[in-house]
Amino acid sequence: MAPGAQEMVAAMTTPKVQVENLRLSYGSKEVIHGISFQIEPNEILGIIGPAQSGKTSLLRCINRTIEFTPGTRVGGTIRVDGQDTSRMKDVYGLRRRIGMVAPLPVGLPLSIFDNVAFAPRAAGMRDRKFLEPHVEKCLRQAALWDEVKDRLDSLGTKLSGGQQQRLTIARALSHQPEILCLDEFSIAIDPVTTMRIEDVLKDLRKEMTIILVTNLTQQARRLADRTMFLWNGEIIELDGSDVIFSDTPQDKRTYDYVNGIFG
């Protein structure tokens, strides 16, 4: 095989993310109890579950920002493209391959342009000739360009909530991630903006793998190929979304949660 082709074949057949027996403890309290699952390239995986189930913690384990919280212990293995993430020397490179969108919109106290240029600059890209079209592309992908194209110099913190959330998405896209993680992104924004972003996600899946943590079961139903029901740090069920949201999922607790009987 031609050089590079072997990697390409491997990339096409290896799952994008493999989680093997992941355990997470905050101090002495274990919050994720040895879960295992895989995510295929270019799929949209939904993760649903009640609060405090470990959804956010799981994402933070994947991009290793869990390390910034003192007192945490991680067991088990997470692989991206087959490589063990905990053994990667360049953790910053790993975080650049993963885009993260937090529940609350965060506009950095910089200009809108600098908000989106922050990550490329941190990675060493300083050339204005590259940055300007790149920033525009990311803002377009986040469905924000038209609203801010005339005021790229204004402060990111002065935008509305919905705009700041789209700015966060633009920032997440600015370092060209292979995996995009969204953590309840629509909590603080209005339904119209949510719909626009959902359309964006449907487009983005062609280029990347998407993990969508959400409390809106309808949202998972609309977007996700497969959905995982995570409860109290354990995977109750992981299946195609059509099964999870049907009248006959494999686990009764899934049906109860989806239909609002608890949670």
Partner 1 sequence: MINSRSAFSIYREKAIELLIRICGVSAIVFVFAIFFFVFRGGFPIFGDDRFGLWQFLTSPDWYPTSMSNVRYGTLALTAGTLSVTGVAMLIAVPFGLGAAIFVSEFSVGKTREILKIVIELLAAIPSIVWGFIGLTVMNPLIQKVFGVQVGLNILNAAILLALMSIPVIVSIGEDALKAVPDSYREASIALGATRWQLIYRVLLPAAKNGLLAAVLLGVGRAVGETMAVLMATGHAVHIPHSIFDSVRTLTATIAAELGEASEGSPHYSVLFLIGILLFTITFIVNLVADLVVKGVKNK
Partner 2 sequence: MHDDAKPIINFAETPFTRRKQRNEKIARAIFAAMVACIVIPLILIVGYLIKEGASLITWDFLTTNPVGGMRRGGIWSAILGTFWLVVVSLLISAPIGVLAAVYLNEYAKENWFTRIVNLGVVNLAGVPSIVHALFGLGAFVLFFNMGRSIIAASLTLSIMTMPVIIASTKEALSAVPRQFREACWNTGATRWQTIWGIVLPNSISGILTGVILQVSRTAGETAPIMFTGAVFYKKIAEGNFFAYGLNDQCMALSMHLFTVTTQVTNAPHALPFAIATVLLGLVLTVNLTAIIVRSWLRGRRKW
Q: Three-state DSSP class for 55? A: helix
How many angstroms separate the CA atoms of 88 and 84, rounded? 7
| The residue to which tokens 């989680």 are assigned | 19
- Pick the piece of the chain touching partner 2 (CB under 8 A) from 73-81, 168-176, 195-203, 205-213: 168-176
Residues that contact partner 1, how many (by CB under 8 A): 12
Q: Is 93 in the site for partner 1 (CB under 8 A)?
A: yes
Q: Work out how close the CB of 183 gets to partner 1 at its nearest, in angstroms, rounded to a whole number.
A: 21
Q: Three-state DSSP class for 17? A: strand
How many angstroms separate the CA atoms of 104 and 184, rounded? 9
Q: Work out how close the CB of 108 gets to partner 2 at its nearest, in angstroms, rounded to a whole number.
A: 6
Q: Which of residues 105-164 bind partner 1 (CB under 8 A)?
A: 119-120, 123-125
Q: Is 175 in the site for partner 1 (CB under 8 A)?
A: yes
How many angstroms separate the CA atoms of 2 and 19, rounded? 30
Give whichever of 27 and 260 is closer to partner 2, judged by the CB atom: 27
Q: Is 210 in the site for partner 2 (CB under 8 A)?
A: no
Mask 89-128, x = binds partner 2 (CB under 8 A)?
Answer: ---xxxxx--xx-x-x-x-xxx-------xx--xx-----
Q: Is 180 in the site for partner 1 (CB under 8 A)?
A: no
Q: Which of residues 52-91 bind partner 2 (CB under 8 A)?
A: 63, 65, 68, 70
> Binding residue for partner 1 (CB under 8 A) from 92, 154, 218, 232?
92
Task: List CB contacts of 193: < 8 A, sequence separation 6 or more.
Answer: 162, 165, 166, 186
Distances (CA, A) of 222 to 58, 106, 163, 199: 22, 26, 22, 10
User: 134-137 long-range CB contacts below 8 Å, 24 or more apart?
Assistant: 134/174, 135/170, 135/174
Give whichever of 82 and 93 is closer to partner 2, judged by the CB atom: 93
What letter represents residue 169's amino acid? Answer: I
Task: List CB contacts of 30: < 8 A, sequence separation 6 or more.
Answer: 23, 24, 233
Residues in touch with partner 2 (CB under 8 A): 63, 65, 68, 70, 92-96, 99-100, 102, 104, 106, 108-110, 118-119, 122-123, 155, 157, 168, 171-172, 174-175
Residues in touch with partner 1 (CB under 8 A): 90, 92-93, 96-97, 119-120, 123-125, 175-176
